Amino acid sequence: MKKKTNTGLKIISLNRKASFNYFLIDLFEAGIVLRGSEIKSIRLGKINIADSYAIEKNREIFLINCHIPIYKNASSENHDPYSERKLLLNKKEINKLIGKVNEDGFSLIPTKMYFRKGKAKIEIAVAKGKKKYDKRNVKKTRDWNREKAKYFRKSS
């Protein structure tokens, strides 16, 4: 009997800058409230979550500055590309996120957006911003590992 290798996960968008600019403390999976033209645009793979973040309003979590471009084939019922989008989380998770964000220096940053079993999901990270010297240290170790790999390739 064949084993199933597909987990039903299709990644749409990654926020590669998140791990470079922030220390990712905790990860949460959230659903996202979308309109019809938004989901069609997302299914085409045209979404940008690089500069987006999440905030708390009235005990709910909203995604801000996430760019979903206008779907060309939609009629007059099209959406605003930069509108706020509500995230679907449990009360327990919302309370945990609000508690973390109220601490000094923590933010909610989306790390990736994907489809799980046909539903759009977004992964939110509780993150703390890195200082300039932390970023330099990451670049330094990355460059050193690249040079080390190049040296070993040449020697063997």
Q: Which of the pair, 88 or 37, is modelled with greater confidence? A: 88
Report which of 88, 78, 90 is spatially closest to residue 39, judged by C-alpha positions.
78
pLDDT for residue 1 is more than 70: no
Which class in CATH covers the domain with range 9-130? mainly beta
What is the reported pTM?
Answer: 0.80
Q: Is the pLDDT of residue 154 over 90?
A: no
More confident residue, 92 or 8: 92
- What pLDDT, in 10s, does the model give residues 62-97? 999 999 888 888 777 788 788 899 999 999 999 999
Query: Would you state the pLDDT for residue 90?
Result: 93
Instruction: Output the average pLDDT for the chain.
Output: 87
Secondary structure (DSSP) of the chain: -PPP---SEEEEEE-THHHHHEEEEEEEEEEE---HHHHHHHHTT--B-TT-EEEEETTEEEEES-B-PPPTT--TT---TT--EEEE--HHHHHHHHHHHHSTTEEEEEEEEEEETTEEEEEEEEEEEPPHHHHHHHHHHHHHHHHHHHHHHHH-
Domain boundaries, the chain: 9-130
